[in-house]
Amino acid sequence: MARVKKRKHTSLSEYPRRSEAHRKASYISFYRKLAKIFNCFSLIDVPCIIVLGGAGLSQELLNISLSVDKEELRGLIKKVVSGEWRLYLPQFQRDFEWDEDDIRYFFDSIIRNLPVGSIILWKPARKIEDDPFAVPLIDASEETPYGESFYLLDGQQRLTSLLLLYAGWMISRMGAEISRNVISYVPSQNRLIIGERGGVNLSKLFKGYLDGEFSRVIEPYPRYKEILEKVSRESWNMRYRSTLLRL
């Protein structure tokens, strides 16, 4: 009986040794496999951070280890801004499309402690920085230290909105500016508005709380000090359920 020659498996670590054109073609195939796996996890409907890690995508989905933790919203933002987490968008991700109304509804859900969906990350076995199609979620300065790198598979619109909130409504991605109009909180009506007239700039309010400058930010609003502090504290302390998946 003739022996069947087994097909040699090509690992992701071999891609950099190929020609640039072949390497890019390999990444396109790689992204298609990743999209199939992502579709399997899209059925998970809980507010969480899901981190996929481990070996290549050819591995069966039957051997998945799972652990659950919780991540405060402010801790998540700090990790991204400080460089502790370097997040990259894979090639199949769409651009940032949310307008001010989308962002306002999202922040309103956070303030009211309503479900805000999932954030799904994947940590591959190889360096994401070698991927010619990967786009950083936010440009980092030269002084920012390099931390762990992840693909952001789902949650780009939400995380980008949170970074805009922290950065004063403007960030940079691949040298291009992403900006949105100011969104403000009206404490007397407990609602968010687009624009700054009649409200407190939500970016100044939340960033001031996160950076220890909250007293200075709310100084012009002594009448609403308690409600502004309550909204900021409960929003930034909101906890995502963090689920770690290893393929």
- 20's enclosing H/E stretch is helix 20-41
Two structure tokens written together for 59: 């591995």
Compute the average pLDDT of residues 168-194.
Answer: 94
The 10s digit of each residue's pLDDT in 227-242 is 888 888 877 776 654 4
Distance of alpha carbon 89 from alpha carbon 11, whole angstroms: 21
Question: Which of the four pLDDT bands, split at 50, 70 and 90, describes residue 27?
Answer: low
pLDDT at 54 over 90: no
| CB 64, CB 125: distance < 8 Å | no
Cα three-residue angle 239-244-247, rounded to 5 degrees: 160
Q: Which amino acid is at 163?
A: L
pLDDT value at residue 195: 94
Q: In this predicted model, what pLDDT tens digit does every residue of 186-221 receive, in sequence order?
A: 998 989 999 988 889 999 988 888 888 888 888 888
Task: State the pTM of this model.
Answer: 0.74
Q: Residue 118: which residues within 8 A CB-CB, separation 6 or more?
A: 44, 45, 46, 47, 48, 49, 50, 154, 155
